[in-house]
């Protein structure tokens, strides 16, 4: 069974999703979850995604959630809401793991990654890839999730290399 990481960019229209490769060195886009003005609606889709990965012999061992800090690094209302969402996801995962019919068998770590300017970086990468600016809206959230997840993967590799 391969171990992978999941990256999430929480938004009020869409939650961008990214998945790592089994070596946990590269993040790639995995789509969007449409939410109607409140990303708390995305729980079931995230749980389904984790279950689907389990069925494909991939265990999600870490979920990196974008933390929208203020530009000065302080925690504002949006960051608090993202932290609440992460805590709620952990509770939902615990309930799924306890359910005997659930495919989710282990609790992934949930970490928060500073997402300041990830949307700006995502737009820049899409422009660099010659993606038409009108097409950005459909993919920018998942590209932001890639930025969040790649930052988490890079941080994990740097930490591992220090030892």
- The domain limits of the chain are 2-161
pLDDT of residue 159 exceeding 80, the answer is: no
Half-sphere exposure of 146 (CA within 13 A, CB side): 19
Q: In this model, does residue 122 exceed pLDDT 70? A: no
- Taking 60 as the threshold, does the pLDDT of residue 135 lie above it? no
User: According to DSSP H, which parts of the chain are helical?
Assistant: 43-55, 77-98, 118-128, 136-161
What's the CA gap between 133 and 128, in Å, rounded? 11
Q: Which of 8, 44, 53 is nearest to 27 (CA)?
A: 8
What was the pLDDT predicted at 145? 94
Instruction: Give percent above pLDDT 70 in the chain.
Output: 84
pLDDT at 133 over 80: no
Domain 2-161, architecture per CATH: 2-Layer Sandwich (3.30)
The size of the chain, in residues, is: 163
Asked if pLDDT for residue 5 goes beyond 90, the answer is: yes
User: pLDDT tens for residues 72-118?
Assistant: 889 999 999 999 999 999 999 999 999 999 889 899 999 999 987 66
39-84 residue pLDDT tens:
788 999 999 999 999 989 999 999 999 999 888 889 999 999 999 9
Q: Cα Rg for the chain, rounded, in angstroms?
A: 15
Choice between 163 and 63, residue whose per-residue pLDDT is larger: 63
Element (H, E) at 110: strand 109-114
pTM metric for this prediction:
0.87
């Amino acid at each position: 069974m391969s171990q992978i990481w999941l990256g999430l960019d929480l938004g009020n229209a869409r939650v961008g999703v990214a998945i790592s490769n089994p070596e946990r060195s590269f993040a790639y886009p995995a789509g969007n979850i449409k939410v109607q003005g409140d990303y708390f609606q995305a729980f079931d889709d995230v749980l389904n995604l984790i279950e689907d990965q389990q069925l494909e012999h991939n265990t999600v061992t870490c979920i990196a959630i974008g933390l929208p800090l203020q530009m000065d690094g302080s925690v504002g209302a949006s960051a608090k809401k993202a932290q609440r969402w992460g805590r709620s996801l952990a509770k939902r995962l615990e309930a799924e793991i306890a359910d005997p019919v659930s495919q989710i068998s282990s609790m992934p770590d949930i970490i928060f990654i500073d997402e300041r300017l990830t949307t700006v970086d995502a737009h820049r990468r899409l422009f660099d890839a010659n993606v038409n600016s009108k097409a950005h809206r459909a993919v920018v959230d998942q590209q932001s999730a890639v930025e969040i997840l790649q930052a988490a993967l890079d941080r994990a590799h740097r930490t591992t290399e220090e030892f």
